[in-house]
Amino acid sequence: MLSPGERAPEFTLPDHEGRDVSLTSMLRRGALVLYFYPADFTPGCTREACAIRDLHAEIQKVGLTVAGVSPQDAESHQRFRDKYRLPFTLLSDADKAVIRMYGVDGPLGFGVRRATFLIDPSRHIRDAVLADFRIGAHDEFVSRAIALSST
């Protein structure tokens, strides 16, 4: 997994509407909370996405942007966003190229590790957390990112 201080690799992935979105384009708005998750509609991933949704007003207030990355296609991401009223971008990494670049591929290439990064506009990773089954650790991470960005 990439560590704080490292430069985040550039990428372009399709979003939930099928439009190509690059890391650089998301960073034009300010720092980014980029999170990787195993799959739409699973209990842990739904809980994580809804926790971020519930913090979204605070996230925007401090100028952060959020994007989630998983291997599902745009159609699945759109259904997931609609069902849980998720106000942030979901990106499709079907071949897991970006997942591998960020070092969050599952053991032996199966699955995706649950990881969250705070990336500044110069593409440097300011903070990161890997907490596969500890969903609360991601909630705490996002809350810390909000606090960091409000100073």
Cβ neighbors of 9 (< 8 A, separation 6 or more) are 2, 23, 98, 101, 102
Residue 48: per-residue pLDDT: 93
Label the pairing between strands 65-70 and 89-92.
Answer: parallel
Q: Is the pLDDT of residue 24 over 70?
A: yes
CATH superfamily of 12-149: Glutaredoxin (3.40.30.10)
pTM of the model: 0.94
Active site residues: 45
pLDDT one-digit tens code per residue, 69-91 = 999 999 999 999 999 999 999 99
Mean pLDDT for all residues in the chain = 94
Domain ranges of the chain: 12-149
Residue 151: per-residue pLDDT: 66
H helices present in 28-96, as ranges? 43-61, 74-84
Question: Which residues partner with 67 through β-bridges?
Answer: 34, 89
